[in-house]
């Protein structure tokens, strides 16, 4: 009785968004993989029921795949290394926002939860989830390998590492923020891109809906013979 309807409708709505626009690869986090599996099940079930004899490129729905980065696919909260970092969390200090200015990023990293009683920094110690999380973030923004980072931080303490991490995050986000502000200051161009994208998306969506209706045997009004 206490389960919200969103538990049932959200996965289906996500699947509809993917299938409607014929997405082949879908960038998601590791925790979203099950939604992609549901999407694939829906597409295959529908195609088998209503378009089994059609060629692969003529079937209404495309079989999609999850596009998950090999490293940093699951980033945890800055305040709890066992909970996912989320933009909906009440505590803004639990996450790094893409548009956070350098001083805010530095402040958040300085205040983020760490541990004590250990020598150096290390990966994959189940007793140090915050350590693994911060090293994972560092790997994602620095481009360094896990081995390189392990060698770099093995003798570090948090007071030494946190400024390095903050600087790496700031450097990584800087070109993204610059491009964002550039686009926001050129509204005519931004709106033209949005209009063009919307037109292309609508064309794909209309074609998908038409194929799905035809496969199910629904009458297409645009096929009416006016004579």
Query: For 165-206, how does the pLDDT look when each residue is reduced to its tens digit (9 = 90+)?
Result: 999 999 999 999 999 999 999 999 999 999 999 999 999 999
Highest mean pLDDT among 23-32, 58-67, 170-179: 170-179
Is pLDDT at 221 greater than 70 in this prediction? no
Contact between 66 and 33 (Cβ < 8 Å): yes
Q: Can you tell me the mean pLDDT for 125-150? A: 94
Q: In this structure, what is the dihedral angle of CA atoms 207, 212, 218, 222, given to the nearest 10 degrees?
A: 0
CA 181 to chain centre: 22
Residue 49 confidence (pLDDT) above 90? yes
In terms of DSSP bridges, do strands 25-27 and 65-67 run parallel, antiparallel, or are they unpaired? Answer: parallel
User: For residues 127 and 143, is the Cβ–Cβ distance under 8 A?
Assistant: no
pLDDT at 110: 96
Cα–Cα distance measured from residue 27 to residue 43, given in angstroms and rounded to the nearest whole number: 18
Question: What does the pLDDT read at residue 21?
Answer: 96
* Sign of the Cα pseudo-torsion (100, 106, 111, 117, in order): positive
Residues counted in the chain? 227
> HSE on the CB side for 104, CA within 13 Å?
11
Q: Give the pLDDT confidence score for residue 218 in this predicted structure.
A: 86
For 203-227, give one letter per residue: b (16+ CB within 10 A) or e.
eeeeebeebbeebeeeeeeeeeeee
Longest dimension (CA), the chain: 85
pLDDT, averaged across the chain: 91
Q: What is the pLDDT of residue 166?
A: 98
Specify the pTM: 0.80
| Segment 94-108 mean pLDDT | 97
What is the rounded CA–CA span in Å between residue 134 and residue 115?
A: 11
Confidence tier at 224 by pLDDT (50, 70, 90): low
What pLDDT was estimated at residue 136? 94
CA quadruple 211, 214, 218, 221: dihedral sign: positive
107-136 pLDDT per residue, tens: 999 999 999 889 999 998 999 999 999 999
Task: Supply the pLDDT for residue 9.
Answer: 87
Q: How does residue 30 score in pLDDT terms, banded at 50, 70 and 90?
A: confident
Whether the pLDDT of residue 15 is over 90: the answer is yes
> Rounded mean pLDDT of 130-150?
94
pLDDT tops 60 at residue 226: no
């Amino acid at each position: 009785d206490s389960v919200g309807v969103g538990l049932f409708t959200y996965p289906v709505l996500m699947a509809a968004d993917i299938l409607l626009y014929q997405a082949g690869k879908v960038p998601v986090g590791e925790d979203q993989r099950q939604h992609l599996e549901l999407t694939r099940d829906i597409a295959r079930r529908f195609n088998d029921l209503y378009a089994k004899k059609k060629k692969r490129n003529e079937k209404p729905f495309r079989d999609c795949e999850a596009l998950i980065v090999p490293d940093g696919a699951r980033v945890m909260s800055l305040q709890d290394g066992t909970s996912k970092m989320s933009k909906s969390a009440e505590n803004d200090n639990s996450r790094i926002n893409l548009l956070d200015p350098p001083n805010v990023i530095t402040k958040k990293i300085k205040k983020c939860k760490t541990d004590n009683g250990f020598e150096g920094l290390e990966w994959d110690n189940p007793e140090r989830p915050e350590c693994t999380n911060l090293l994972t973030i560092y790997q994602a923004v620095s481009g360094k390998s896990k081995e390189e980072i392990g060698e770099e931080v093995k003798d570090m303490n948090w007071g030494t590492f946190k400024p390095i991490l903050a600087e790496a995050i700031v450097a990584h986000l800087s070109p993204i923020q610059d491009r964002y502000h550039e686009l926001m200051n050129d509204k005519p161009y931004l709106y033209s891109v949005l209009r063009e994208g919307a037109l292309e998306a609508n064309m794909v969506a209309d074609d998908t809906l038409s194929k799905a209706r035809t496969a199910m045997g629904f009458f297409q009004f645009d096929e009416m013979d006016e004579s």
